[in-house]
Amino acid sequence: MADRIAVLGDIHGNVAALEAALKDIKRKEPQLVAVTGDLVMNGPQPSAVVARLREMEAAGGVLVIQGNTDVAVADADYAAAFPWLDEVPEAQRLAAEWAHDELADDEVEWLRRLPFERRVMLGEHMVLICHASPGSQTSGLAADLDPSVTVERVTRTDARVIVCGHTHVAEVRELGRKLICNPGSCGYAFDGEPTAGWAMLTVAGDEPQAELFRAAFDAQQVADELSARGLPGDVYRAATVRTGRLIR
């Protein structure tokens, strides 16, 4: 049981952003760090991200789950990773294959074995750590989602707090008795701020609460690394990292 849980996710192979967020988090002294998946695809340093997370796992105090793009990288199951696409673009397939080839065999196995979800206690409250929504790596909880669909998705769990990612947009909201916390993307933001998003869960009185944070990193340097890589779509990935907005 913990009363301070730091949350981050959607790192997408951006180790500079991960390190910036972790430096910020360390100052807040959480008892646990939860990582909501999408760890390696699209960014320039997938192996460095995996190595850092495994190092944290070995030291204790971190829970890492698998996101949909981790399925694409580890197993090339593109229909499972991107079920909303009738045909997965070649640029996405090549990015997944490149990340797979950059990882050592044991790193791919680690990515493959990551759990789908985890549950922990924040004080007396159950916290579900998932990638997109309870029971799904791909059906997200976007702010503009139809309210009836949102209710259906969040009621798939008894957890008081739902921690998720996938949308790359930071958000905290209450929905009935559910607290939904999306820290935004650590390494590939879509909400207009090219910084590393993370969040802190705490208990105030008897109730859980969440606060959003942003950590600065050298987005231009990461964008330059992506541009130099030269895969199809990298010019757009670089622009996304540089601006904090989805460019395609």
Q: What is the pLDDT of residues 128-181, one digit of tens each?
A: 999 999 999 999 999 999 999 999 999 999 999 999 999 999 999 999 999 999
Residue pair 170/138 in contact (Cβ under 8 Å)? The answer is no
Give tens-digit pLDDT for 113-125: 999 999 999 999 9
pLDDT at 205: 83
Round to whole Å and give the CA distance between 207 and 6: 17
| pLDDT class of 186 with cuts at 50, 70, 90 | very high
| pLDDT class of 25 with cuts at 50, 70, 90 | very high
| pLDDT class of 204 with cuts at 50, 70, 90 | confident
pLDDT at 225: 97
Residue 1 pLDDT > 70: no
Average pLDDT over residues 57-62: 94
Round to whole Å and give the CA distance between 104 and 122: 35
Give tens-digit pLDDT for 80-115: 999 999 999 999 999 999 999 999 999 999 999 999
Between 205 and 62, residue with greater pLDDT: 62
3-state secondary structure the chain: CECEEEEECCCCCCHHHHHHHHHHHHHHCCCEEEECCCCCCCCCCHHHHHHHHHHHHHHCCEEECCCHHHHHHHHCCHHHHCCCCCCCCHHHHHHHHHHHHHCCHHHHHHHHHCCCCEEEEECCEEEEECCCECCECCCCCCCCCCHHHHHHHHCCCCCCEEECCCCCCCEEEEECCEEEEECCCCCCCCCCCCCEEEEEEEEECCEEEEEEEEECCCHHHHHHHHHHHCCCCHHHHHHHHHHCCCCC
| pLDDT class of 2 with cuts at 50, 70, 90 | confident
Mean pLDDT across the chain: 97
pTM: 0.96
Average pLDDT over residues 196-202: 98
Residue 224 pLDDT > 90: yes
CA distances from 146 to 60, 140, 149, 207 (A): 39, 11, 5, 27
Rounded (10°) angle between helices 15-28 and 46-59? 30
Q: Which CATH architecture has domain 4-243?
A: 4-Layer Sandwich (3.60)
